[in-house]
Chain A
């Protein structure tokens, strides 16, 4: 097969990566530090959204636990990437055995992701056989548990206090490279045998079981893969923001990532990308409006929360009028072909009429 034919099935991820690289290059060329910051965060967010897409899009199950694994990845990775001195400086109560641990950046990220994956693997297996409603509720419970642990395990996380002094290893190009790898990984998962089988269970659990697809194992594999990606995202984010608290890994963050995925379209990798781009752009514009209004001092008590209100309204409108999101379960291709059969049902429906 010649190169063109071999690349053809990879048209979508290549297209998405091209978009990402284009944005990265433009940002680098413009050299505006604020823009670089925004775009770097956007790419890290994209990694998180892609991780969520891997699980939600293929299994059809909503998971609230994703950001919890982001938090585990963040806190674990900094334990390894910070020098012993820096660690002692920020957390005097840190367990002594944790202080001398030190690894370069990339291995730290890997360790962070692996710990998140391990926790996910152990905790989630029994949950995978639960029905839809219970499955979602247990992921919410997981998020709360992780949050409480991060918030109170002072000797590891510094509790509710800010953990500072993390080195800023996440540059624009770091986040871009990880992003590109993630896009390929998530797309390949989707088109792999596991992904196909999982989506069969999403569309019709009984039919899938009758041809021997083990739904529990498939879901579990997707869950831990998505936890790994969340761990990577968390580690990258920690090394960008350089100081954080457990409050960064709870409901607000969950809402933003979920909004990005649902608005873009949870059933395709392109949906994750498009959603992240659109929502990031919208948020920055809205944030600018907020700041402008605050500077003008139109409201004495300050103008806050406008961005979130608009985002929530948009999310609700999408759920009502276009539940499949902007991409409508299609993938981006270059050049654009005619769309194939569109799925009419967005998120699998349990009721008939």
Chain B
């Protein structure tokens, strides 16, 4: 059943996962931190849409922008309040902190809104399709692909043409050396968290669009996807994140048609076993970088 519809679906999924992975890698590259609270940023985006689309007359485009903004500000806030004070201590402390922040955000949503799923009012366009080359393609998929192209272009421009972007890439190579050139650590890290939040916010729009509802635990599945995609792509490279996202989408889609039904449910287990294998044998990921320098220790 691998037809045009399947392929477009896969590309759309890949675009979504690429943006998802980027938001996680941008922090990991600099801080070596897997931000467990990243999934919750998507949750924040979702609840913002739920509140604004459901209870205010704001047009949907404004709602979407505010959802992205909410995710970005939450990300910046968590950095300022939780991650910055533990940054100097150790990686383990940061990891546990990110886990705690994740729990905190999740349960705050539970507390403030409700443990039950809440329906999100989506604009008409997310329910309509268009005919392309004889197949019915949901607008949702097209929008996902277009948005990801736009975002990737913007991000690339930021990273290659601005001083901040150069500083971010340098920080991912060698954070201490970047500081020794006078680049303020806090600025770089806040920028990374902001970008991470923006990515999460955009992903949340299209993620929620698939189910039209939001729950406090909606952040867990995308976190796991981002996790696997970043490992596939080599955890420190942004190009790798994009590749990882697409590879994940391709593998999971193919497994969906190729695996017998009994094994289908274990797809995620396979993906995570794949993660372990990559970390064991090719920790730099499947994307080989010409400029990667061997680091000892």
Residues of A within 8 A of B (CB): 60-62, 126-127, 130, 132-134, 136-138, 140-142, 144-145, 148-149, 151-152, 251-252, 254-255, 258-259, 262, 301-306, 308-309, 311-313, 315-316, 319-320, 323, 345-351, 353
Bound Cα distance A303, B107 (Å):
11
Bound Cα distance A152, B262 (Å):
9
- Which residues in B have their C-beta under 8 angstroms from that of A311? 103
- Which residues in B have their C-beta under 8 angstroms from that of A316? 82, 86, 97, 100-101, 104
- Which residues in B have their C-beta under 8 angstroms from that of A132? 91-92
A137 touches B279 (CB 8 A): yes
A126 touches B90 (CB 8 A): no
Q: A134-B283, A319-B93, A347-B90 are in contact. List 5 more A-B contacts (CB 8 A).
A: A252-B103, A259-B100, A309-B111, A312-B107, A316-B104
B92 touches A348 (CB 8 A): yes
For the complex formed, measure the closest distance between the CB of B39 and the CB atoms of chain A, giving whole angstroms.
10
- What is the 8 Å Cβ interface bit string for chain B, positions 264-275, against chain A (1 contact, 0 not)? 011011001101
Q: Is B114 close to A, CB under 8 A?
A: yes
- Top 3 closest A-B pairs, CB basis? A305-B110, A305-B107, A312-B104
Bound Cα distance A138, B111 (Å):
32
B104 touches A138 (CB 8 A): no
With CB as the reference atom, state the residue of chain B lying closest to A348: B90
Bound Cα distance A144, B113 (Å):
28
B103 touches A308 (CB 8 A): yes
Q: Is B89 close to A, CB under 8 A?
A: yes
Q: Is B170 close to A, CB under 8 A?
A: no
Within B88-143, which residues are at the interface with A (CB < 8 Å)? 88-93, 95-97, 99-101, 103-104, 106-111, 113-115
- Which residues in B have their C-beta under 8 angstroms from that of A138? 275-276, 279-280
Within B243-288, which residues are at the interface with A (CB < 8 Å)? 265-266, 268-269, 272-273, 275-276, 279-280, 283
B103 touches A255 (CB 8 A): yes
| One of B90, B109, B266 near A346 (C-beta < 8 A) | B90
With CB as the reference atom, state the residue of chain B lying closest to A205: B297
Residues of B within 8 A of A (CB): 32, 34, 82, 85-86, 88-93, 95-97, 99-101, 103-104, 106-111, 113-115, 176, 216, 220, 224, 227, 231, 265-266, 268-269, 272-273, 275-276, 279-280, 283
With CB as the reference atom, state the residue of chain A lying closest to B89: A323
Interface centre among B34, B95, B113 (most CB of A within 10 A): B95
Bound Cα distance A100, B33 (Å):
48
For the complex formed, measure the closest distance between the CB of A181 and the CB atoms of chain B, giving whole angstroms.
28
With CB as the reference atom, state the residue of chain B lying closest to A313: B104
A305 touches B92 (CB 8 A): no
A315-B100, A347-B90 as given contacts; A305 in contact with B108, CB under 8 Å: yes
- Which residues in B have their C-beta under 8 angstroms from that of A151? 265
Residue contacts A-B, CB under 8 angstroms, 21 given: A61-B92, A134-B279, A137-B279, A140-B227, A141-B275, A142-B276, A145-B272, A148-B266, A149-B269, A259-B100, A301-B113, A304-B110, A305-B110, A308-B107, A309-B107, A312-B101, A312-B104, A320-B85, A347-B89, A350-B91, A351-B88
Bound Cα distance A91, B110 (Å):
32
A262-B96, A309-B111, A319-B93 as given contacts; A145 in contact with B273, CB under 8 Å: yes
A134-B283, A312-B104 as given contacts; A347 in contact with B275, CB under 8 Å: no
A127 touches B280 (CB 8 A): yes
A309 touches B104 (CB 8 A): yes
- Which residues in B have their C-beta under 8 angstroms from that of A130? 279-280
B276 touches A141 (CB 8 A): yes
A262-B96, A315-B96, A348-B92 as given contacts; A309 in contact with B272, CB under 8 Å: no
B99 touches A255 (CB 8 A): yes
A312 touches B266 (CB 8 A): no
Bound Cα distance A319, B92 (Å):
10
For the complex formed, measure the closest distance between the CB of A84 and the CB atoms of chain B, giving whole angstroms.
25
A312-B101, A316-B100 as given contacts; A302 in contact with B114, CB under 8 Å: yes
